[in-house]
Amino acid sequence: MINSEYLEKLNKFQKEAVLHTSGPLLIVAGAGSGKTKVLTSRIANIVEKNLAFPNEILAVTFTNKAAREMQNRVSSILKKRAVGLPWLGTFHSICAKILRKHAKAVNLTQSFTIIDQDDQQRLIKNICKSKNIDVKKISPNFILALINKWKNSGWYPKNVKISRGQILEKNMLEVYKVYQEKLIDLNACDFGDLILHCVKIFEENQDINKIYSKKFKYILVDEYQDTNYIQSKWLKHLTLLHNNICCVGDDDQSIYSWRGAEIKNFLEFDKVYENTKIIRLEDNYRSTQNILNVASHLISNNENRLGKKLNSNKIEGEKIKLNCFRNGKDEAIGVSDIIENELKKKYSYNNIAILVRAIFQTREFEERFLKIGLPYRILGGTKFYERAEIKNCIAYLRVVQHERDDLAFERIVNVPKRSIGESSFKQINEYARKNNLSLEIASQNLISQNLIKPKTKLGLLSFLNMVKKWRNDHSIKKINHVKLLQIILDESGYSASLKDKKDLENENRLENIKELLSAMKEFDNLESFLEHVSLATSIDQQWEGEKINLMTMHASKGLEFDAVFLPCWEEGMFPHQKSIDEKGQSGLEEERRLAYVGITRAKDLSFISFSLNRFYQGDWIDSLSSRFVDELPEKFIEKNNNLERDDQDFDFNQDIDNDNENFRSPGWIRYQKRLK
C-alpha cells in the first residue's frame, strides 16, 4: 500500500510542483525549502498515477549519495510497490550506461575502460615527454583542467578555437589531439568523454536519439544550477519527444563556475524550453527568519538572478552577530570563547561549524582549538599541519635542525625532483643501516667513495651542500627561522616548482605556505616552533567523538548546522580578489552567492566577523571590512566590538614544558583527561 500521506505533508507550492506533470518545469528551490522531498514525491506521484513506469523515468543527480537518498525516499513512500529506478544516478553513470550500448558509434567497444585521474596524468606525462614538454613547468593537472574545460564546452580537438597569440593553448591543443587518439587506441575514455560522446552519438544518429527521448517520459534533474554546457545540451537532446523535464535548483547557490558550471543554464531555462512553468519554493524549514532576512537582503544585490523571498517556519530567532576584532589571533580567541562559554552548553560540537573562504584560513582556529582543547575536524580537506606542502616545509626545517632526522631527510631529499630515484635511495638506506649511520652521513660517504651513479650524485651533492649552507645561515649568521624557511623555499626550488605548475591545487599550496610563514612569526625560535608542531599533531590525533567542523564555504553546500561562524570577511579575502580580477562583475556575484550559501547553513545562530589587521603572507596588513558587511541589513544585525582583548590570553608557546611539570596549557590538561 502506498503511503498516501506524502502529499499531505507538502506545502502549497511543493504540492503544486509535485502534481504538475505536463511540460517543462523549473523549481526555484531556496535554501532549506525541501527540494529533495519535492523530487522524490514527484517521482512517487508519477509511478502511483501510472503516468510512467519506473524505467521510463530519468532522474539525474550530481553525487551517488544524492541518488541513494532519492531512491530510499521514493521506496519509503511507495512501500510495497517500491521498485528500483534503473535510470536514477549521476550524469556520468547514466551516460556510461548509454555509451556501453552504442560505443561503436564513437569508435569504442562495449568493454571500454573508464580511466581515472591517475591514469589520465600518466597518459598526459607520456604525451608531454614525446613532445618535449617539461611537466615540471606545465603540470599534467593544468593540462587536464584545460582539456576538461574544452570537453565541458562540448569541444573535441577539431572544434577548439585558439585565438592568435595563445601559444600555450595552441601547444596544449596538440596534446589534446594526441590524448584523444590514445584513448581510442586504448579503448578507453575519461569522465568528460562519457557525456561528450553521448551528445555526439545523439547528434550524429537521430534514430538513437529518438530511442531515448521516447523512452524517458519524465526527466528530473537535481541541482540544475551546477550544470555545465555539455550537460544541458545532453538533457536537451533527451527532451526531443516528451519534453517533460523538471529541473530543481537555486540560482542563488550557483558557486561552482570554476568547475565549469554555467548559471545561465538556470536563468535561461524558460528560453530553452518553451512554455516553462516556474514554481518558487520559498518556505524554509532550516533557519530562523532573522537569518533568512539577512541572507535575502545580501543576495538581492546580485543582478543576475530569478529572485525569491525566503520565509521561515521557525521563530524570528536571534539577530546575526557581527563581530569586529583587532586581528586574526583575537578572532580565533573570540570564536573559541563563544563556543566555550555559550554554545557548548546548548549544542553538540558536531552541530557547530566554522566556514572560511580559503582553506589556509583554518590555521589560526586550529592553533587556538589545540591550545584550549577543543576537538575539531576538517571537512573536505586536511588539517593544516598534515597538508603535504606544510609537512615538506617542516621536514626541511627538521633536517636543518637535526642531521640525524632520517624521516625528514627521506621525505624531502628528492622534493623537488633531484634525480634521486627509488633504487638510489634504497642504496643509501642499506648503506646507512649496515654502517649504523644517518641517511645524511651515509649519502656523504657514498659520494666520497664514488659509489653513486653520476646523475644521482649531482642531485644528492647539491642537496647536501644546500643543507650545509642553511645550517650555517641559521647557526652562524643567526638568520631567524622565518627568513630561513624563505631562503630554503627559494634555494631548494620548492616554491618555483609550485609556481610553475599553474593549477588551482598548487595555488592553494602556496597560500598554505604563506600562512605557515605567518604562523612561524608567533614563535621565538626554530626549536620552539618545531616543538609546537610536533605536540600539536600528536595531541590532536588522540581526539575522538564529537568535533567542531571546519571547512570552506564551498564544501559546506548542502549541509546545515545549529550554529555557524563566518570569519575573515575582509576585502580581498572575501570577496576574493582573484575572482574579481578574473571575472569582474560575474565573479563578484558568485562570491556574494557564496556568502549566501554560508549564511543559510545556520539553523539557529550565525556569527560573521572581520579583523582590522591580519598577518598575511608574512606581513601585517590593514584590513577593510568586506563590502558584503556593508550590505548586511542593520535591522537584523547585532554589532559587537572586540578591540580591548588582552593579548596574553593567546600564547602560542604555552604547550611547551617550560621545565615546570605543573605548567601546562588548558589544551594539555584536557588532553591528559581524555587519556585517563
Q: Are strands 311-312 and 619-622 parallel, antiparallel or unpaired?
A: unpaired
Neighbours of 578 (CB within 10 A): 12
- Please tell me which of 277-286, 434-443, 508-517 the model is most confident about, judged by mean pLDDT: 277-286
Per-residue pLDDT at 674 exceeds 50: no
By CB atoms closer than 10 A (0-12, 13-18, 19+), residue 321 is middle
Q: What pLDDT does residue 553 have?
A: 96
Q: Closest Cα partner for 562 from 609, 601, 607? A: 601
CA distances from 419 to 141, 290, 460, 462 (A): 22, 60, 8, 11
Q: Closest Cα partner for 551 from 386, 384, 379? A: 379
How many Å apart are CA 481 and CA 80, to the nearest integer? 68
Q: Closest Cα partner for 361 from 147, 567, 561? A: 567
Which residues 6+ apart lie within 8 Å of 44 measured at CB?
Answer: 2, 6, 74, 77, 78
Residue 620 banded pLDDT, cuts 50, 70, 90:
confident
Query: Percent of the chain scored above 70 by pLDDT?
Result: 91
CA distances from 36 to 219, 296, 302, 441 (A): 15, 21, 26, 62
Beta carbons of 327 and 613 less than 8 angstroms apart: yes
**Active-site residue numbers?**
35-36, 222-223, 253, 601
Per-residue pLDDT reduced to its tens digit, 511-559: 899 889 888 888 888 888 888 787 766 554 444 579 999 999 999 998 9
DSSP tag of 319: P
Beta carbons of 631 and 330 less than 8 angstroms apart: no
Residue 97 banded pLDDT, cuts 50, 70, 90:
very high
Per-residue pLDDT at 654 exceeds 50: no
Phi/psi of residue 135, nearest 5 degrees: -70, -10
Cell 537555486 -> residue:
250
Beta carbons of 439 and 410 less than 8 angstroms apart: yes
Beta carbons of 138 and 131 less than 8 angstroms apart: no
The whole-model pTM stands at 0.82
Q: What pLDDT does residue 662 have?
A: 43
Q: What pLDDT does residue 536 have?
A: 66
Q: What pLDDT does residue 231 have?
A: 97
Q: What pLDDT does residue 332 have?
A: 95
Enclosing H/E stretch for 279:
strand 277-281
Residue 316 banded pLDDT, cuts 50, 70, 90:
very high
Residue 666 banded pLDDT, cuts 50, 70, 90:
very low
Residue 382 banded pLDDT, cuts 50, 70, 90:
confident
How many Å apart are CA 568 and CA 442, to the nearest integer? 48
Per-residue pLDDT reduced to its tens digit, 180-238: 999 999 999 999 999 999 999 999 999 999 999 999 999 999 999 999 999 999 999 99
Q: Closest Cα partner for 575 from 555, 556, 553, 607? A: 553
Per-residue pLDDT reduced to its tens digit, 607-618: 999 999 887 666
Q: Closest Cα partner for 446 from 458, 457, 433? A: 457
Per-residue pLDDT at 169 exceeds 90: no
- Please tell me which of 344-353, 371-380, 496-505 the model is most confident about, judged by mean pLDDT: 344-353
Q: Closest Cα partner for 601 from 568, 564, 632, 631? A: 564
How many Å apart are CA 407 and CA 401, to the nearest integer? 13
Beta carbons of 656 and 339 less than 8 angstroms apart: no
Per-residue pLDDT reduced to its tens digit, 454-498: 888 898 999 999 999 999 999 888 999 989 999 999 999 998 888
